[in-house]
């Protein structure tokens, strides 16, 4: 089976490696495999093209043969070794920029390449063709696949926060940055579950936390966003038992019922 190597934000790469195999996560060299019923698979099935290494036009997506050249310290197009490196080590963005002749900037520090298994075959001109190590994606198609991966990541991330808030509410855990759980703690739980270490310094994680909070605000999911009068209305009984969890409320209801039975 051939693979492609797609340039994605680091958090996307770490998420998919941890999501597919959370314990332990996939290594950088192990491919992420999509089901034929998933959108990502369908996009590759429609857009993959045979591209000779010598005809490489961009760095958004490499074919398997291009990537093997990079591992050997060669330019993606092949030729002589221009950088002495260990082929068993995952290439850094500095090395890739050097080997591809692209300028390194602040944005490149936040990217990684995700190894994705390509479909075994695809239909070209009405005939089934075997996908070889020379297949890759054009620039626009590679960017579209990255957007799809990001949408799926955000869907899972926002669902996680929703579920955690629901559990907190069910168990009577207050959602308060001073006295209870807050959004940052939920985000940390998500990072821990998918083993998303991000960068090696605290700045990268702080940047990711700020980005995640913006996503939540955009999704209108933060508690402060709720301003509907019907939602904020509290009944007298709710005020009396406010802060208790569901199990405690059930027990108190049972107790009240017993008291009524005794009086009868």
- The answer to the question of residue 165 being in a domain is no
251 lies in the same domain as 123: no
Give, rounded to a whole angstrom, the gap between the first and last alpha carbons of the chain. 76
Provide mean pLDDT across the span 212-228: 62
pLDDT over 90 at 246, yes or no: no
In a domain, 47, yes or no: yes
Q: Among the listed ranges 65-74, 135-144, 185-194, which one has the minimum average pLDDT value?
A: 185-194
Q: Quick one: pLDDT at residue 227? A: 47
Same domain? For 139 and 260 the reply is no
CA distance 119 to 33: 9
Is residue 40 within 8 A of residue 34, CB to CB? The reply is yes
147 versus 252: which is more confidently predicted?
147
130 and 258 inside one domain? no
Query: Is 37 a residue whose pLDDT tops 90?
Result: yes
How many domains in the chain? 2
User: What's the pLDDT at 231?
Assistant: 44
At 15, list the tokens. Answer: 């998420």
Q: How confident is the model at residue 208 (pLDDT cuts 50, 70, 90)?
A: confident
Torsional class of 80: left (φ above 0), alpha (ψ -120 to 50), beta (otherwise):
beta
Range of the domain at 29: 3-149
Average pLDDT over every residue of 141-162? 91
Q: In the predicted model, is pLDDT for residue 225 greater than 50?
A: no
Query: Does residue 212 fall inside a structural domain?
Result: no
Domain's final residue, options 149, 164, 197: 149
How many C-beta atoms surround the C-beta of residue 1 within 10 A?
11
Check pLDDT > 70 for residue 152. yes
Question: And the tokens for 248?
Answer: 């405690």
* CA separation for the pair 264, 257 (Å, rounded): 11
Residue 15 lies inside a defined structural domain of this protein = yes
Is residue 31 within 8 A of residue 113, CB to CB? The reply is: no
Comparing 93 with 237, which gets the higher pLDDT? 93
At which of 149, 172, 205 does a domain end? Answer: 149
With cut-offs at 50, 70 and 90, classify the pLDDT of residue 226: very low
Lowest mean pLDDT among 11-15, 17-21, 82-86, 126-130: 17-21
Last residue of a domain, one of 90, 120, 149: 149
Name the nearest CA neighbour of 59 among 34, 93, 26, 28.
93
Does residue 223 lie within any of the structural domains? no
Task: Report the share of the chain in percent with pLDDT over 90.
Answer: 45
Maximum average pLDDT range among 35-49, 195-209, 249-263 = 35-49
* Residue 71 within any structural domain of the chain: yes
């Amino acid at each position: 089976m051939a693979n492609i190597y797609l340039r994605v934000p680091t958090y996307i790469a770490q998420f998919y490696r941890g999501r597919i195999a959370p314990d332990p996560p996939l290594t950088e060299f192990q491919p992420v495999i999509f089901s034929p019923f998933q959108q990502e698979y369908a996009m590759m099935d429609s857009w993959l093209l045979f591209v000779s290494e010598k005809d490489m036009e961009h760095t958004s997506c490499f074919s398997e043969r291009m990537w093997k050249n990079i591992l050997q310290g060669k330019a993606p197009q092949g030729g002589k070794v221009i950088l002495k490196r260990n082929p068993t080590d995952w290439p850094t963005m500095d090395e890739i920029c050097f080997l591809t002749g692209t300028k390194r900037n602040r944005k490149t520090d936040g990217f990684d390449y995700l190894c994705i298994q390509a479909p075994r075959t695809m239909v070209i001109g009405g005939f089934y063709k075997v996908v070889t190590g020379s297949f890759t994606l054009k620039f626009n198609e590679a960017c579209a696949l990255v957007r799809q991966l990001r949408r799926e990541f955000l869907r899972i991330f926002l669902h996680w926060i929703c579920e955690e808030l629901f559990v907190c509410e069910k168990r009577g855990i207050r959602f308060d940055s001073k006295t209870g759980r807050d959004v940052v703690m939920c985000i940390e739980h998500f990072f821990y579950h998918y083993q998303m270490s991000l960068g090696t310094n605290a700045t990268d994680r702080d940047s990711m936390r700020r980005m995640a909070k913006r996503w939540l605000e955009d999704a209108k999911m933060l508690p402060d966003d709720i301003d509907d009068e019907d939602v904020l209305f509290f009944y007298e009984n709710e005020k009396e038992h406010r802060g208790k969890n569901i199990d405690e409320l059930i027990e108190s209801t049972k107790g009240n019922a017993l008291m009524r039975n005794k009086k009868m």
